[in-house]
Homo-oligomer: A and B are copies of this chain.
Amino acid sequence: MALAYRPSHADATYDFKYGVRAVEGGGRSSARETIGRVAAGAVAKKLLKIQSATEVLAYVSRVHGVELPDDVVDHEKLTIEQIESNIVRCPDPVIAEEMIKAIDMVRLRGDSVGGVITCIARNVPRGLGSPVFDKLEAELAKGLMSLPATKGFEIGSGFSGSKMTGSEHNDEFYIDDSGNVRTRTNRSGGIQGGISNGETIVMRVAFKPTSTITTLQKTVTREGHETEFRARGRHDPCVVPRAVPMVEAMVALVLADQLLQHHAQCQLLRFDTNLPPANGEKGSENVTLEEAATRR
Contact = CB atoms under 8 A, between A and B. Distances in A.
A155 interface: yes
B127 A208 contact: no
Contact of A208 (B18, B133, B162, B220): B162
A264 B273 contact: no
Contacts of A210: 166
Contacts of A114: 161-164, 169
A12 B192 contact: yes
A217 interface: yes
B33 A161 contact: no
Nearest to A143: B138
17 contacts: A7-B173, A8-B170, A8-B187, A13-B126, A16-B181, A28-B131, A33-B132, A50-B293, A62-B163, A112-B165, A112-B166, A142-B142, A151-B154, A162-B207, A162-B208, A175-B226, A263-B263
A188 B6 CA distance: 13
Contacts of A168: 209
B181 A5 contact: yes
Interface stretch (A79-87, A91-99, A194-202): A194-202
A165 B133 contact: no
Instruction: Please give me the 6 A-B residue pairs with the lowest Cβ-Cβ distance, nearest first.
Output: A10-B193, A19-B273, A112-B166, A13-B195, A142-B142, A260-B264
A274 interface: yes
Given A20-B275, A28-B131, A268-B51, A165 B106 contact: yes
B50 A269 contact: yes
A153 B193 CA distance: 16
Given A7-B173, A215-B167, A16 B206 contact: no
